[in-house]
A and B are shown apart, each in its own frame.
Chain A
């Protein structure tokens, strides 16, 4: 722990096995990371990456197998043990207490002397921030922070505990290109200081950029470990999926050329009364995918919810074939013949009922069809079964509570249900967040199919590479305003990045 010896293994996992009931999440996995090395852990959804890492951070206990840290055999029974061994994990869903300040979150649970909380406690936090080039306001409450700020707090939390083994579970899923770059600089600095870093990510270009070696998991087993310098995106994908995969997103064209939705001077405030969408005007055409890019918290969520009729509109109009739908309830909107499908960011919170099975979740959209007080489950069951087949949903049965499914499968259930309702407007928020390559492409294909049917798709996205390929036009939001609407073919990632931080000109351009 104390000296930098490059050839010492910081972590060695041998024959780790973990089962949940009858599901084998990890099957005899070997994995090793040297000190001063960045290892990327790659694998599809449900391949057992997070489970494996949770055993290092003390959330789960392995059924069998052994863990060595800095050459010593260890047993990790709790997160406390993991911290003592110098293992720090940054979870995909941040483990922060919302109502507490950054400082309180960082010193939380730290084994330090003194009964009382001292004012001077933020000194060490400042030191760490300076050393690693991190920037936070220690007094700011977590619930007021952006995603990137929250992540910074998590990183400082780990550094504060002097962790020299850092595990990051999909850290870049919610960051802008600029923020990702900054995160990678921090990781490189940690590497230089002799830390061992394990990073889980689905983005192959990031794997190639940051890691030294890559370990690939497939269906709970470790299939290969390769040197990053000697591999390619294509090879990694093949190892991950188990067969060759075409890595380009289709971009079909059509000639509907008809206006579907017109949004005029829309202003929306959130529950706290803050204007999150400020006077924006744009339109959505039939048969197009309109991307919405922006830093997390730029008003994407409010825009979606306002369009879906879930959040009241403060000012402005949403015209569907020249009829204003503002102020109508979701039910009235459906009765007008507009089928608007909304795939929210919070899939299990807003999209699906987590403890119900697929069949019952299908019913949520269909309960008011049919006669009499009883619902017929037959149709829903058939639909659920059809979706399982069409979208390769992995679930023990169609009645298994959806919260037991992995993130990708949950997303497929939701998207499948919404598409089945035959919408003419489809709103998706972060449709592929946390999804592996294979599932992502299934989703892209499904969206393209809808587009070709004449559906207007509003695609709230975060991976700019994907958006450039998939979308027809991209609208950039920054602090609730539109900083530009551009043709996807005629723009670059860097330009979008600049618009996202409103560096390109704060005039708020329109289409």
Chain B
């Protein structure tokens, strides 16, 4: 029972991990992109659309990643080049992304004459199966080594991003841009290029999170109404919970994943709480996270100092 619960928590946490990692990459380069929800929606549609037509998982993921890039590119152009307000632009991107996915989702449904379904072969590629040898280890084998391939991909992406941020030269330059673009600029770093690259990279990763939701959580059927449903917003809050570290985000997404599946595993015959409460729970926890985060005062592990502020070299 507990293993099942944790297993489900990991599954539910995976899209959050994608979203959080993507947003961390964006914020570390100094841009607060509130469009995660929208980018995930777009990734969800593109991932499903391409998966539906080609039956290829890599192509589906690539499509989701690219549409995320594209959505983030719009955001980057507006905020970095045109100096638009980051909050407003991000919110707008969310609205745009939801509209985009629902519009084309509707067209897809019309063309398919009913809810489009992924092919059985495709469903097998994305199904959960134990990894040989490792999957046979008791408890751990079931808990950790018997997932669908996207779960491993999300952890891999988070680990790579973490190493990139903390250990590489490019990561250092990117952190500097996020903290103090003027200082980075004076040090000869191409601030604009770095911002564009990481905003787009972050958007792509968010897109993958969306693809996870439509391909895995959707059970192989396109559902036009509630594909992403707030996961993008939780991801934005998770960035704070994870104190801008992809490694901590792995843990954080697990916690939030657990909250979102709690309703199916809570012993209902003992505790009588309306289902709506469980549905609300992740958002409630998100609120508390934000409150505690605002009370925390440390220089490291807090929001990059330049985050949310547009940089213009000749500003005086």
Q: Say yes or no for B314: interface residue by CB 8 A criterion.
A: yes
Instruction: Mark interface residues in A96-136 (1 if CB within 8 Å of B CB, else 0).
Output: 11111000110111111011110000000000000000000
A143/B176 contact (C-beta < 8 A), A109-B187, A115-B169 known: no
Q: Contact at B300–A99, with CB atoms within 8 Å?
A: yes
Q: Contact at A100–B175, with CB atoms within 8 Å?
A: yes
| Of listed A82, A109, A114, A271, residue having the most chain B CB within 10 A | A109
Within A24-64, the residues touching B (CB, 8 Å) are 57, 59-60
Q: Contact at A98–B184, with CB atoms within 8 Å?
A: no
Measured between C-beta atoms, what is the minimum distance from A388 to chain B in Å?
21
Q: Contact at B173–A271, with CB atoms within 8 Å?
A: no
Number of residues in A with C-beta < 8 Å to the partner?
A: 39
Q: Contact at B183–A95, with CB atoms within 8 Å?
A: yes
Complex contacts, B172 vs chain A, CB 8 Å: 100, 104, 107-108, 117
Q: Contact at A100–B176, with CB atoms within 8 Å?
A: yes
Within A57-113, the residues touching B (CB, 8 Å) are 57, 59-60, 78-80, 82-84, 89, 91, 94-100, 104-105, 107-112
| Of listed B185, B187, B189, residue having the most chain A CB within 10 A | B187
Contact for B299 among A84, A91, A111, A143, CB less than 8 A: A143
Residue of B nearest to A271 (CB): B297
Within B136-182, the residues touching A (CB, 8 Å) are 167-170, 172-173, 175-176, 179-180, 182
Q: Contact at A117–B179, with CB atoms within 8 Å?
A: no
Q: Contact at A95–B187, with CB atoms within 8 Å?
A: yes
The interface size bin for chain B is 20 to 34
Q: Contact at A117–B187, with CB atoms within 8 Å?
A: no
Cα distance A385–B261 in the bound complex, in angstroms: 66
Q: Contact at A80–B190, with CB atoms within 8 Å?
A: yes
Cα distance A108–B194 in the bound complex, in angstroms: 13
- Chain A contact residues, majority secondary structure: loop
Complex contacts, A107 vs chain B, CB 8 Å: 169, 172
Measured between C-beta atoms, what is the minimum distance from A111 to chain B in Å?
8
Q: Say yes or no for B188: interface residue by CB 8 A criterion.
A: yes
Q: Contact at B169–A116, with CB atoms within 8 Å?
A: yes
Complex contacts, B175 vs chain A, CB 8 Å: 97, 100
A97/B169 contact (C-beta < 8 A), A80-B188, A141-B299 known: no
Q: Contact at B170–A91, with CB atoms within 8 Å?
A: no
Contact for A98 among B182, B186, B299, B314, CB less than 8 A: B299
Q: Contact at A91–B179, with CB atoms within 8 Å?
A: no
Cα distance A79–B190 in the bound complex, in angstroms: 9
Q: Say yes or no for A157: interface residue by CB 8 A criterion.
A: yes
Given A96-B180, A99-B179, A115-B170, output 11 extra A-B contacts at Cβ < 8 Å. Answer: A20-B316, A79-B187, A79-B188, A80-B188, A83-B188, A89-B186, A94-B183, A95-B182, A108-B176, A109-B189, A141-B300
